Amino acid sequence: MELVPRAIYRTWNDWHGQPHSGLQFRHYPRYPRQNVPPQEEYFFTLLIDGKLCVCSDLLTYGGTEDERIMWCFNLFLECFGQCFCVGEDNKGIEKPRFKRFNWELLPKGDYPWEKLSKIITQRLEKRAKPEELEVTLERLRYLRELGSSDVGFGRGGFDGYIVLEYERAGLWVLESSYLDNATYVFDSDWDLFSSLTKNEILSGKLCMRRVIHDKKWKSTMRSLVAPPSRSSFW
């Protein structure tokens, strides 16, 4: 704590009862404060594509001006509710295009359960408890018996999730290593499925079926991914 003086104006009586008025100083404790000088920016107006815009000075990203850029963004949003970036030619800056790689498919090949279970265990043993891992392996063993072809593992935000393809049924099945969860069944192709965000998948709105882990799980999954014929589906 630091002691800080504060001036107050008050009236008091002396020993003879005569009133006096003036400034007095009192000291009070407070938490130390850091003096942050106000930031200063000059803005100007510029005609861009026939519209009069309020602009900042030229800012360079990736150097010593990153904090200044953030400050200008926040100021524009506070004052105008929106802002956008342009290059030196006053043209819009194109957003970088990127592709998500949330899933890693195993290479094509023969994966008997003994071999596949070891791969799954290596992937999940750091995340799941031993008793949870046993439950997950039992579910995946059953799904594998139903005729899955490709197997993939989630990365990043999808860590702990396993996806299996049922090529004949045209389905993708997403299984979780977390107990008391659910199995998600998708009828979309891989390019569409792999581009979905975790929120889009787990919301259940885009999946064909969400199957709860309960006593009916096995029979439900069998009817979905290994039906007698697609014509009798549903």
Give the model confidence (pLDDT) of 117-154 as tens digits. 888 888 888 777 787 888 888 989 999 999 888 888 88
On whether the CB atoms of residues 187 and 171 are closer than 8 A, the answer is: yes
- Output the CA torsion sign for 147, 223, 217, 167: positive
Q: What is the dihedral of CA 152, 153, 154, 156, to 10 degrees?
A: -130
Which residues are bridge partners to 123 per DSSP? none
Q: Does residue 204 register a pLDDT over 70?
A: no
Q: Does residue 11 register a pLDDT over 80?
A: yes
Confidence of residue 36 (pLDDT cuts 50, 70, 90): confident
* Averaged pLDDT, 94-115: 70
> What pLDDT is recorded for position 219?
92
Q: Does residue 66 register a pLDDT over 60?
A: yes
Q: Does residue 231 register a pLDDT over 50?
A: no
Confidence of residue 230 (pLDDT cuts 50, 70, 90): very low
Closest CA to 123 of 100, 93, 152: 152
Q: Does residue 24 register a pLDDT over 70?
A: yes
| Residue 18 token pair | 């005569």
Query: What pTM does this model have?
Result: 0.53
Of residues 135 and 206, which shows the higher confidence score? 135
Helix (H, G, I), strand (E, B) or coil at 123: helix
Distance between CA atoms of 201 and 203, rounded to whole angstroms?
6
| Residue 119 token pair | 């791969």
Angle at the Cα of 140 from the Cα atoms of 150 and 156, rounded to 5 degrees: 65
Locate all alpha helices (DSSP H) within 60-112, ordered by sequence.
66-80
Q: Does residue 29 register a pLDDT over 80?
A: yes
| Residue 33 token pair | 């404060």
Distance between CA atoms of 34 and 48, rounded to whole angstroms?
41
Percentage with pLDDT > 70 across the chain: 89
* Averaged pLDDT, 149-161: 79
Distance between CA atoms of 128 and 142, rounded to whole angstroms?
19
Q: Does residue 228 register a pLDDT over 70?
A: no
Residue 182: in which H helix or E strand, if any?
strand 182-186
